[in-house]
Amino acid sequence: MKRQRDKEGEESPQGPAMPQKEHLWLHKFLGEWTFEGTATMEPDQAPVEFRGSEKVRSLGEIWILAEGEGEMPGCGTATTLMTLGYDPQKNRFLGTWVGSMMTHLWVYDGTLDAGGTVLTLNTLGPDQEGKLIKFKDVIEFKSADHRVLTSHLLGGDGAWFGFMTANYRRRK
């Protein structure tokens, strides 16, 4: 991580972290968004529609905080908070996600594709019986004002199952 330099030009362990290009990439999220999407609650059921809004702000230039509110499938009105940052030592995007409709803290660890448009965030979460299984959220920027979030879980057969897709469109 780039650090401030002291008067002799040596790196100082004190002082603020300097934003890297990956931190600045996260600024694509900043602003006010609306979202609408569909989720499949059970494999044999029809998808459920949902919608809401999200405000994304920065915490310094290192982290972003995304605060969402809307109708969540099977949960009614809910609020959510996602944090995202980048750890240059690990060369990984890190973050968390929490929602008012559940007690689980989702911890993200992910990577950005070579084209700089798709962020894949891996995490562990509870299945229907409460057992922790692998999930991934994939965020793709289609344009500066449109991004798509798809959520997947790893099934017992070793295949990823996409259970939720949401389109986010920038308001401001």
Q: Per mean pLDDT, which range of 5-9, 18-22, 23-27, 48-52 is the poorest?
A: 5-9
Question: What is the pLDDT confidence band of residue 3, given thresholds at 50, 70 and 90?
Answer: very low
Q: Say whether pLDDT at 104 is over 80.
A: yes
List, for residues 11-24, the tens digit of each pLDDT value.
456 678 899 999 99
Q: Domains plus CATH for the chain?
A: 21-170 (2.40.128.20)
Residue 81 to residue 113: CA distance in whole angstroms: 24
Residue 137 to residue 122: CA distance in whole angstroms: 7
Q: Say whether pLDDT at 147 is over 50.
A: yes
List, for residues 32-47, the tens digit of each pLDDT value.
999 999 999 777 888 9
SS3 79: strand
Instruction: Give CA separation, 73 vs 40, 44, 119, 163, in Å.
Output: 9, 15, 24, 11
Residue 5 has a pLDDT of 42
Residue 23 has a pLDDT of 97
Q: Say whether pLDDT at 7 is over 80.
A: no
Within its chain, how far is the Cα of 64 from the centroid? 10
Residue 8 has a pLDDT of 46
Quick one: what percent of the chain has pLDDT higher than 90? 78
- Two tokens at 77? 């009105």
Read off the pLDDT of each residue in 84-97 and give the average, rounded to a whole number: 97
